[in-house]
Amino acid sequence: MEQNELITIPPSVLDQLKKNINKYILKDKKPDGFEEALRYVALEKATKSQLAKLNSFSNNHSLSNDDDKEKIEILDKMIVFAKNWTKHQNTKKEFSNKLRANTDHPTGASTKKQSGREVDRLKPSLSSVKPYTTAELNDSALMNECFRIMEIIKKMDII
């Protein structure tokens, strides 16, 4: 698990989880969600997938199921936090996608088709780094400069 996947749980949610844990800590039968609540309190963080699971649970639970009722009772604030966090993340993604789709590319290319950009991927151009060929050195000024540099190098006894 990477560090950037951990979401810090707000203190108010942690306080409520601690109160709920204290209710059942000395009882023999622990309710569903008790171990999960202990984990959240101990780490004070939750992963994105844990929050997504809580959000999914809140959307699909059954009030006729006693286990679901117990889990909701002990994790009530955590479920609300998970729902709000997930909703916020989805809104951020939607806004980001909308912004990306509506923003013109600085070169004039569309973000979908890249029409302003033409690159032959099979034949890369490295013209700025490849050495000159003899045909390109026919310019007398360029040749004179090359000879001058070679003379300087000879005088420095590098060659």
Percent of the chain exceeding pLDDT 70 equals 71
Sign of the torsion formed by the C-alpha atoms of 15, 19, 20 and 25? positive
Per-residue pLDDT, 1: 45
| pTM for this predicted structure | 0.58
Per-residue pLDDT, 8: 93
CB 71 within 8 A of CB 37: no
DSSP per-residue letters across 54-76: HHHHHHH--TT-HHHHHHHHHSH
